[in-house]
A and B are shown apart, each in its own frame.
Chain A
Amino acid sequence: GQQLNQSPQSMFIQEGEDVSMNCTSSSIFNTWLWYKQDPGEGPVLLIALYKAGELTSNGRLTAQFGITRKDSFLNISASIPSDVGIYFCAGQQMDSNYQLIWGAGTKLIIKP
């Protein structure tokens, strides 16, 4: 099925570094969502974006809905050990009121 292009696939960073990841698509989305999945858990919603150009923060996390409506990015500032996990983007298209399209995830690993 259709997937979003999420990059990078994985990131090895030092504690305290800033992190950036993004999702792109050839299709337009009217909602972009960012989820985090910890090992053995289901994904948990971090940030939801509903308008093109929208920039939203949640603590050290900031996400933006691209003005073309075909992309979104997530930034994490001053990473800490509990930030490790897999981050997923998900998008909602206008022709569906229930089906989200998911990226393959970005695995964040913090080097000791």
Chain B
Amino acid sequence: GAGVSQSPSNKVTEKGKDVELRCDPISGHTALYWYRQRLGQGLEFLIYFQGNSAPDKSGLPSDRFSAERTGESVSTLTIQRTQQEDSAVYLCASSLVPSGGGGELFFGEGSRLTVL
């Protein structure tokens, strides 16, 4: 596709359930980022992938959060045993090169997660 695609766009789940969020980056973009955006707040960095590897996982809020990327394309963010505090919009972005190298981040529309 032409842009970053995320699914599902909306997810409502019960506390304690696991959820999986998917991101399809722009083809050829080696850098991929996950951010969390709580209502009325800025973007909170979660994890960065360069290719298939994640050199920095320190942004993940807890061990309930994990992410993987396969084939330098699709990435999935998994949240286990969801809590109400996990409710937020999860944004994925990709860039041709890392942002520090001048790479512009292109964002998807986000996955809105609501934990009841």
B76 → chain A closest CB, angstroms: 18
A90 CA / B42 CA spacing, docked (Å): 10
Q: Does B25 contact A (CB under 8 A)?
A: no
A50 CA / B99 CA spacing, docked (Å): 12
Instruction: Report whether B42 and A100 are in contact in the complex, using a CB–CB cutoff of 8 Å.
Output: no
Interface size, B (range): 20 to 34
B100, B101, B107: the one contacting A44 at CB < 8 Å is B107
Interface residues of B (CB under 8 A from A): 4, 31, 33, 40-45, 48, 50, 56, 59, 91, 93, 98-102, 104-105, 107-110
Known interface pairs A42-B109, A43-B107, A100-B99; 15 further A-B residue pairs with C-beta atoms within 8 A, sorted by A's residue number: A31-B100, A41-B110, A42-B93, A42-B108, A97-B100, A98-B31, A98-B50, A98-B98, A99-B56, A99-B59, A104-B40, A104-B41, A104-B42, A105-B40, A105-B42
